[in-house]
Structure 1
Amino acid sequence: MIHQCFDLKSVDFAQLTISIYSGVSGFMQRITNSLKRPITLLSVLLLLVPCLWSLPIAGFAPAQAAIYEADPPESVLTDDIVETELLGTLDFFDGMPSEATVQKTYDFIDVSRGVDAFLNGIPAASIYAMLEGLIDEDIQPGDVGIFEGLMNARSLFLTANSTTMYVVGEANVKDGPIVLEIPPGILGTIDDAYFRYVTDVGNVGPDQGQGGKYLLVNPDYDGEIPEEVDYVVTTPSYRNWLFFRGFIEDGDLAGTADAIKSVFRTYPLAEASNPPEQRFVNLTDRQMNTIHANDYQFFEELNAVIQYEPADAFDPELLGQFAAIGIKKGQPFAPDERMKNLLTEAVKIGNAAARSISFSPRKESVYIYPDERQWISFYPGDSHEFFDNGERVLDDRILFHYMITGVSPSLVSPPVGSGSVYGMTARDSAGDYLEGDNTYSVTLPNPIPVNNFWALTVYSGQHRSMLETDQKTAGLDSNNPSVKANPDGSYTMWFGPEAPIGHEGNWIQTMPGKSYIAMLRLYGPLEPWFDQTWIPGDLELVQ
């Protein structure tokens, strides 16, 4: 048969016609010469029709019908040539991808899974970076760091503040339960190795600000619980982040530190009969980092978490996502050159995505006062687990963990008059990014709905920690004696590289050439915050 001798599937139809005509003419001439008499074109065509019918001309020749023939819709079939925006041309043979298409799609899958691993791995990498940052400062599990002189911009912590006294440490239950003796009057939380909420301590915790003895255990702990333990708390991970804030009265830093240090203790339950002396490390003015990487190192941080923690500490779907890029418990993370290059690309895209979600959110629900103000919320869905009608809102989780530390229901909806609430903005009233070269003002209407105090702080658009300026506090709060109210009781605060004349006491310094984020905190928020009858102003550009 002719189709057995000629592969015409990819031949242009017009060219094929010319070739057939030439071939038929030559064939007729040879037959005429052989038979010594002319032969008609019709005779030759009659001979060739069965062969021509079987030719796969340009892919349109009818295939032999199957006895059990289906009628597949076009939607389930794949064309031989597929054009895409991201990958260009993808080619197939009857649904079978070519080698070039296979390579393109695997590269795309590996990059996209790397991006997802970055975005969904931020909570774990963030906890890891904080705990490792403490170890770098010689604060081991069982020790605690305390900012006795408050925190300032020299210490890199995601959106921390300089108005309360932070106490931070690691509670590690790998070798057994840990006892925590919590002092009264503090506000704090314990989160696990994936930044999931474990418990509150202090004012919004089970002890309701009275202090008490907590016991932190793994789910499989079946030992005795001492009678003197007030609260038993279970955590699915070995490493846990403990942090709480002490509130300063009348500017008495030393008194606040002493009150905390005289009560707080943490030690293994196995040593409860003779606890070791508690070690405190003053972290004020330390140049230290507790923020996860935004380059390839991020995946190494994530791998360290997976290797250390129990295999069942995380969601299987999440572990599958990490395993798809080579991060698998019990196995070395050693990507080849191709994979390392793709993961380097992935983290670049993932970092850009996290910054877009954080600084240019496209969801209306993120805004506290939609269409009225630029202030956004870290918990737009009113869920510390980022749930909304059964779904986990991934962008909400990314926004929170890229910017904030400390997951707690009390941050979502604290009791009226207790806890704290937040509003953040990276933009002025016109929707433009805040720039350190410019001067802005913001007015907080009277009365500001707080039971305790309010604060405004500025953070770097790069590392999301306190903005590095010549001002130690990177912000101001209502306890500061320099802050003055307007005649009507409202407060107008100023942001800029230089203090505006006559408003020096209400001025927060920014740096030329640097972006920044402004954050409003209300400690002990009152009802007008929750029902939104109180609305803070936007940052207005001062010409």
Structure 2
Amino acid sequence: MMTALMASALLVTSGAGTSAEKAAGDEAGCGPANTEIDTARRVFQFAFPLYEVWRTRQRMLQLSGATTNSLLHRKTLSRPGDRSITTPNVDTLYSTAWLDLTDSPVRLTVPAMGARYHSIALMHPFSDVFAILRNEDANAVEFLIVGPHWGGTADPHQRVIRSPTNDVWLVARTSVQGADDLPEAQQLQSTYALTGETRGDRDLADQIPARPNSTQLLAIASTVLARGPVPADAAARIDCLGSAVTVQEGEKPGVTIDKAIGPALDRHLETFLDETKLAFERSGTLRNDWRYPLPNIARFGPDDAHRSAMALGGLAALPIEEAANPLTTRDADGADLIGTNSYRLRIPGDVPVDGFWSLTLYEADGSGRWFLYKNPSDRHAVTSLTGDLDRDESGTSSVHISHAPPRDGANWLPAPSGRFMLVFRAYRPRAALIEGSFRLSPVEKTRS
């Protein structure tokens, strides 16, 4: 797995490219790359999402009983010890599957869910969501998920979903309305059905590390892309490729990456990882010290910088029309959120969502990834679903956030003693939240 440097595409631009190459690259969203670090950064930002998706795939397929084309249900809500996906929610049960559509399609059956929030996101290996599935019918619905070259015929009752790639990451979310609702949510989750040819994976021999060197980064990205085909929006940027690549045609088309880019990547890799970590924390549109997601989240197009930032800190994010998730690491004065301080966040009773909202707290692991904070109260979020928040006469909830318990323990969200991040998830947001006319209040520092 770690030897081949073959790929269907890798975004590399030579500073000595022709005018035609540069014009085509600009149209594809590439822009010029005039220095070694520019070119190396371009390679990193293109390859890193592929790397993170494949690393996640490996970790999940190494779980007991896991195979491709089969569902793996997590029967409990996310916990502080869970490290499979960064910034996991504690609002929904996760079900995941890694689809291989090379030889045949798979059938996904979704039970009748009533009014319960649920979504099934389908992502290609760049981490972009190409479909969101749900069942709003009174009976079960069957989807037929097919590969890009499938030429078969679906049954009349099946809804055909065509993937742009042979490899697909499926992530299903089933909402839980508090502890008493967990058994019913689990029962519904267990009735999701995925039917397809299951198999092991020969590409799992070498462990993929959390922090790659250039050889590991390029080899994993190349391995993924060689499985092909490349999504159209990525293939359109092949015109960005300069002398650093060689295109092969024929029965097995692909792109060979020039190994000479490796030393440049190694020289700047720590810089790129630091830039990506900071880019995640500073991504989006700033409103009241909250960073609201950009319109292209989860459907990044040519924006590899944004794609790589989300791959590090928010992998498997949903498109903004499915979930608008503003985040903050700052208080109203622009200072870092630190748990030894005390804070208050006022959440109005009329948050514009058709689903529900939740506020989740995360601590950093030091690498740019964020996970749930283990605390004695075992509380990691507050949500509109559970009905256990104290509200004032206007319907507003004042959430208290600190490491030490406040004098009034109601609406307390425990924080670590160091830095933390808040993510406000608005599932199925309305236009006011997406477009910005509704804004969360800033996080206020208080005395206790």
Q: Same fold (TM over 0.5)?
A: yes
Distance 2:183 2:208 in 1: 25
Aligned match for 1:182, one of 110, 114, 117? 110
Deviation (angstroms), 1:349 = 1.7
Distance 1:458 1:290 in 2: 28
Letter in 1 for 2:131: T
Give the secondary-structure state (helix, strand or coil) at the position aligned to 2:360: strand
Residue 194 to residue 319, structure 1, CA distance change in 2 (3 Å): farther
Give the direction of change, closer, same or farther, for the CA distance of 1:524–1:394 in structure 2 (3 Å limit).
closer
The equivalent position to 2:222 in structure 1, one of 300, 303, 308, is 303
CA–CA separation in structure 2 for the residues paired with 1:432 and 1:466: 21
Gaps of at least 5 residues in structure 2 are: 1-33, 199-206
Kept after mapping to 2: 8 A contact 1:466/1:474: no
2:81 pairs with one of 154, 158, 162: 154
2:271 alignment partner, SS class? helix
Counterpart Cα distance in 1 of 2:54 and 2:138: 28
| Identity fraction in percent | 16
Indicate conservation of the 8 Å contact 2:293/2:324, yes or no: no
Residue 539 of structure 1 corresponds to 443
Runs of 4+ residues over 6 Å off in structure 1: 325-334
Alignment counterpart, residue 134 of structure 1, candidates 41, 44, 60: 60
Rounded to whole Å, the distance in 2 between the matches of 1:322 and 1:249 is: 53
Q: Which has the higher contact order (CA 8 A, sep 6+)?
A: 2
- What is the RMSD of the two structures over their aligned residues, measured on CA atoms? 3.5
The equivalent residue for 1:359 is 281
**Quick one: structure 1 residues 254 and 325, their matched pair in 2 at CA, closer, same or farther if it must change by over 3 Å?**
farther
Q: Secondary structure at the match of 1:537?
A: coil
Q: By how many angstroms is 1:532 displaced?
A: 4.3
**Whole-angstrom distance in 1 between the partners of 2:242 and 2:225:** 9
Between the aligned partners of 1:112 and 1:468, the Cα distance in structure 2 is 37
Matched residue, 1:412: 320
Structure with the bigger percentage of helix:
1
- TM-score w.r.t. length of structure 1: 0.63
> CA 1:442/1:318 → structure 2, altered by over 3 Å: closer, same or farther?
farther
Q: Secondary structure at the match of 2:58?
A: helix
Superposition deviation, residue 213 in structure 1:
1.2
Is the contact between residue 456 and residue 475 of structure 1 (CA under 8 Å) also seen in structure 2?
yes
Which aligned pairs between 1:450-465 and structure 2 lie closer than 5 A? Answer: 450-461=353-364, 462=366, 463-465=368-370
| Structure 2 contact 320–434 (Cα < 8 Å) conserved | no
Matched, 1:499 2:405: yes
- SS in structure 2 opposite 1:347? helix
The verdict on how the C-alpha distance between 1:439 and 1:507 changes in structure 2, with shifts beyond 3 A counting, is: same
Counterparts of 2:148 and 2:63 in 1: how far apart (Å)?
Answer: 31
Out of 178, 195, 215, the position equivalent to 1:267 is 195
1:223: Cα distance to partner?
2.1
Size of the aligned set, in residue pairs, is: 391
Task: Supply the distance in 2 between the matched residues of 1:542 and 1:466 (Cα, whole angstroms).
Answer: 25
- 8 Å contact kept, 2:78–2:89: yes
Change (3 A) 1:308 1:456: same
- Does 2:424 align with 1:424? no
The correspondence of residues 357-506 of structure 1 with structure 2, limited to 5 A, is 357-360=279-282, 366-367=284-285, 369=287, 373-379=288-294, 381=295, 385-386=299-300, 392-406=302-316, 411-413=319-321, 419-461=322-364, 462=366, 463-470=368-375, 471-480=377-386, 482-502=388-408, 504-506=409-411
CA contact (8 A) 1:295 1:347 kept: yes
The alignment status of 1:216 with 2:145, answered yes or no, reads yes
**Cα distance, 1:135 vs structure 2:** 0.9
Shift of residue 354, structure 1, vs aligned partner: 1.4
Q: Which amino acid aligns with 1:488?
A: S
Gaps of 5+ in 1: 1-107, 277-288, 414-418
Q: 1:496 to 1:306 in 2, by over 3 A?
A: same
Q: Scaled by the length of structure 2, what TM-score is found?
A: 0.76
2:73–2:190 contact (8 Å) kept in structure 1: no
